[in-house]
Structure 1
């Protein structure tokens, strides 16, 4: 079945700015090229954030994903050099409804359209993103492609679209994808204590495994007096121990946690040594698998900065930032023994739950010093609802080092 939506901007035949969005189930949208011209393939997902498009674009967790913005107006504040979460744009493609004609912000250094083009990111605009989002909510995220310029087919109409559909269906799926090593840092680096701790000895040293880390994450630890050693995802337990860490952190990142065999084994080596552990997003899923729990793919995932999550112990509700398509499968509301190796990691509880769909949003180990959350506490969604998690990690470290 082919569902085609035509926008006024694309009516009347093909022109140099024409672009097509083709989903693997045959859903097609016609619009206008935005950013670079060409072809891009990936898993198409939607983000519900009303602001923060620059942080979204530069989040490594979006590697190999085409991102649909549900906010209708994008690009209003342009692009600056202070807000990126990494050194480049990571999204595979970008879909917006109404791009800004001109950026309007005293912080803006460039237009978003120009930045996308400069970094080779193929996008499409002037499409009905509300209809597309409803389609993805009904059918689930799937593979898709954006085509413009020379990548458009020679044949018109349905014959040309069939050719593009075959390209989309030949793209790799996200299930089974091991992507952390494609986004991780090539070399270790250190983030020194900052702010009031800048000229003092570090309160603690943390080894942070970069699975697709955002720049703000080590900064949040540095603001608390922690010296953060960011290490590649391919690091071994010997590499971690060489840092002499007081704690270990696993970051967010892209891909299927079931495919991350190396990272799971590395974390088990950390847990065996009872080094305090904190993981976020992908790091939560890796903890789940290290404990012997399963993970599964969500129908359309959680992506945005307005996700309500409840702390099970306190009943407090946090407004949180999310970007994940997989979740941990664990019993909610009861203690359970971690299944791995006859329960060698002891008792575990689900610490946080998503209120929209009851998805597991956090784990806490009761017999070893380890906990994690599925969301991004470094982001200012609440704006500071989840900041306590960094304090909890520092307290977990200092409590153990003081004894």
Structure 2
């Protein structure tokens, strides 16, 4: 799902009008939050009360517009310790009441400033409870956020949203995964070696393994069975990630190779879906989630 962004030149984005348009024609009007411009993605909601930095920087949200169900977002600002990756991955961001003044001893800048800095188009001041209920009942769908002083007519905006490709069939893992293998050393005494296939891995995942004495070799999504066993793993891990698992033929083949060798393996989210495919099962998209 292509994302088109025209970043704002001002940080006072709350003064600009914004509109959110769902592919079924439902429209919400509010104020710009973050960069001013337009963006497209799949509308999903997040029920986390805290941890918005982790959500924004989670590669699993690539090409998705995240609606926060918590009414007040941005209270603790943005720090340099909590991101799960090197950038924000969400295609757009939707909140009800953004914090006017962040307050936390680790805060370095406001969330609004960070969204502007990274060119992330968002919207605030809308009824996110109503939007969440709509998505819960109708299912995840394509959405567009449009902001600025000159926004086109509703019919034109809806047509733009409906032109966007569906998430079904999207092969996105290679877009978010590392391009080069790297190692996260064990903290303290080394106990095991794990080969982690990066399908959109969060930074905290190999770190938590390292805390338990595991040396983690993080491999690209395009890694082969030979690449996995070149590190001499005691176990193999398949990470979370974005997109449609039905397109992930490469990781499925690697998983099948690991199963044949009976090496211990584990995974999470997208990685578990890959396991299902490797065992001969199909996948289908849930209504939401």
Same fold (TM over 0.5): yes
Distance 1:151 1:253, change over 3 A: farther
Please say if 1:246 is aligned against 2:239: no
What's the CA shift for 1:116?
A: 0.3
Q: Work out which of the two has the higher radius of gyration on C-alpha atoms and give 1 or 2.
A: 1
From 163, 167, 170, give the equivalent of 1:177. Answer: 170
Q: Secondary structure at the match of 2:137?
A: helix
Distance 1:151 1:61, change over 3 A: farther
TM-score by length of 1: 0.67
- CA–CA distance in structure 2, aligned partners of residues 129 and 241 of structure 1: 47
Please say if 1:94 is aligned against 2:93: yes
Q: Secondary structure at the match of 1:208?
A: strand
- CA–CA distance in structure 1, aligned partners of residues 150 and 94 of structure 2: 17
Q: Is the 8 A contact 2:16 2:149 kept in 1?
A: no
Structure 1 partner of 2:205: 217
Unpaired runs of at least 5, structure 1:
1-14, 154-159, 302-403
Residues 316-350 of structure 1 show CA distances to partners (whole Å, capped at 9, x for unaligned) of xxxxxxxxxxxxxxxxxxxxxxxxxxxxxxxxxxx
Residues 41-76 of structure 1 show CA distances to partners (whole Å, capped at 9, x for unaligned) of 000000111111010000000000000000000000
Distance 1:151 1:246, change over 3 A: farther
CA root-mean-square deviation:
1.1
Structure 2 partner of 1:83: 82
Structure 1 residue runs of 4 or more that deviate by more than 6 Å after TM superposition = none
Q: Is the 8 A contact 2:17 2:149 kept in 1?
A: no
- CA–CA distance in structure 1, aligned partners of residues 227 and 281 of structure 2: 26
**Equivalences, count:** 276
- CA–CA distance in structure 1, aligned partners of residues 267 and 240 of structure 2: 8
Please say if 1:281 is aligned against 2:281: no
- CA–CA distance in structure 2, aligned partners of residues 215 and 242 of structure 1: 23
Structure 1 partner of 2:223: 235
Q: Is the 8 A contact 1:43 1:65 kept in 2?
A: yes
Structure 2 partner of 1:332: none
Q: Is the 8 A contact 2:74 2:102 kept in 1?
A: yes
What's the CA shift for 1:165?
A: 0.7
Please say if 1:259 is aligned against 2:252: no
Structure 1 partner of 2:196: 208
What's the CA shift for 1:296?
A: 1.5
Please say if 1:190 is aligned against 2:183: yes
Q: Is the 8 A contact 2:77 2:103 kept in 1?
A: yes
Residues 102-128 of structure 1 show CA distances to partners (whole Å, capped at 9, x for unaligned) of 101111001000000100100000000
Q: Secondary structure at the match of 2:215?
A: strand
Unpaired runs of at least 5, structure 2:
1-13
Residues 260-287 of structure 1 show CA distances to partners (whole Å, capped at 9, x for unaligned) of 1111011101111111101111110000
TM-score by length of 2: 0.94
Q: How does 1:1-400 map to 2 (within 5 A)?
A: 17-149=16-148, 152-153=151-152, 160-194=153-187, 197=188, 200=189, 202-301=190-289
Q: Secondary structure at the match of 2:226?
A: helix
